[in-house]
Structure 1
């Protein structure tokens, strides 16, 4: 059985894991919308000695793909800081969104900027690039873009996090999605297992619990089975326990 867990608040991840019946947790180290460096709470520090797998999600503001120096350079610094802090916690990986370039920019700029990150940064634990739901010039919304990103990262040890809501909202059919992703990346390190509040190809990043939303739960289960990777639900918190129980029963 794969490890199944939830995205929880950083104040006391172990208590939140126990309340949900989770054997894995994901959390932020600080404000996900802010530029300050990581802060490890007392509760988060306790995860290092527990039999719970830990994943850290990098702040949403990070965008290492952009040509805007005032965003890209601080993004690299913040990513490096979170990578170091996540490694000190013994995390299995650091999840970061693929980012985007501006509407008039050549996407290749973004792919090249991603390569520079891994050429210049030590990675004590895997960096897991996550597919995203929206953005017309996103690096990791469509599989065609993910393929170009992985071409740019050829020869580098980079992981992948597959989000089911993001794929659906981003316009990628979940049928045979795992096979199509693995044909590009060669790996799926983590599944963000979420239903979607909004319609296919809506571009809206709004998660729903597994039993509700616009995606057939059987399709979500099929993705999880095919991926064979650890699972984190990022669904509304009051239903996370039920979502984890649903996955355990049906996987």
Structure 2
């Protein structure tokens, strides 16, 4: 089963997000938990959630992937920004329990000159404060392209965060194809090698979701500029190998390509067709 969909907006509500994804040909989706550039979150409508859960069950949806706001920087130098990150993640994880058993993805953050090791420690500190044994949500660290002072630019940095998290069984990884390509991992010519390295450093059992994006830039560019499927430097053939790879069966593939619903519908149909060949 290929679980594929696109990143949509939570302002529509859960039921409408699912309806839009069905119209797009998808059976999973990603959404921001709140304004991606701010801190506001809409109140949860329990009736809306119930309708979504019914619709998702009837249409064979895979796990959905919530995305924390871009403004959430767990390793910020300023304590007020870390407090915002701490409160946001804690609140988001409570809200996620209305749709239990899904994924909550976040960018590890930027150390803003403090150094990667300090950033890693600060990220783990917040995770240790907010993760609970009762939660059913798996929290995903996203692989990053390595621009600026981003933490998570390679598998080793993500591993060091995981090593410091006490409830690490509540943790996983979301691999972004554009980010790892821009970060220097050659998924075009050596996908098996990249996944073998991931397994050796982190463990493939931790890989819970994939952001499926082409890249406007070349291997190792550290730019993070997404391109439409087949229109970038990674290319359609390489991305089809990703969705077909036996190590990645049954996980959600999320399109974050620069598109609208019409464009995502075309991409989902194309990828389904190529997957079935």
TM-score by length of 1: 0.89
Mapped contact 2:147–2:224 kept (Cα < 8 A): no
Q: Deviations over 1:25-75 (max 9, x none)?
A: 111132101022454478963423222342211101111122321211110
Unaligned ranges ≥5, structure 1: none
Unaligned ranges ≥5, structure 2: none
What is the match of residue 23 of structure 1?
27
Larger CA deviation: 74-83 vs 117-126: 117-126
Q: Does 1:165 align with 2:178?
A: yes
Q: Cα 1:89–1:83, aligned 2, differ >3 Å: closer, same or farther?
A: same
Q: Does 1:101 align with 2:114?
A: no
What is the match of residue 138 of structure 1?
150
Q: Does 1:216 align with 2:225?
A: no
Counterparts of 1:46-85 in structure 2, within 5 Å, are: 46-51=51-56, 52=61, 53-85=63-95
User: How far 1:18 sits from its partner (Å)?
Assistant: 1.7
Mapped contact 1:118–1:156 kept (Cα < 8 A): no
Mapped contact 1:29–1:40 kept (Cα < 8 A): no
Q: Cα 1:48–1:142, aligned 2, differ >3 Å: closer, same or farther?
A: same
Mapped contact 2:2–2:272 kept (Cα < 8 A): no
Q: Deviations over 1:183-233 (max 9, x none)?
A: 222121001111112233333222222121111222222233142222111
Q: Does 1:8 align with 2:8?
A: yes
Q: Does 1:231 align with 2:253?
A: yes
Secondary structure of the corresponding residue to residue 5 of structure 2: strand
Mapped contact 1:20–1:241 kept (Cα < 8 A): yes
**C-alpha RMSD of the superposition:** 2.3
Q: Cα 1:144–1:137, aligned 2, differ >3 Å: closer, same or farther?
A: farther
TM-score by length of 2: 0.81
Mapped contact 1:193–1:220 kept (Cα < 8 A): yes
| Equivalent pairs, count | 250
Q: 1:54 and 1:147 mapped to 2: Cα distance? A: 24
What is the match of residue 182 of structure 1?
199
Q: Cα 1:212–1:183, aligned 2, differ >3 Å: closer, same or farther?
A: same
Q: Cα 1:38–1:77, aligned 2, differ >3 Å: closer, same or farther?
A: farther
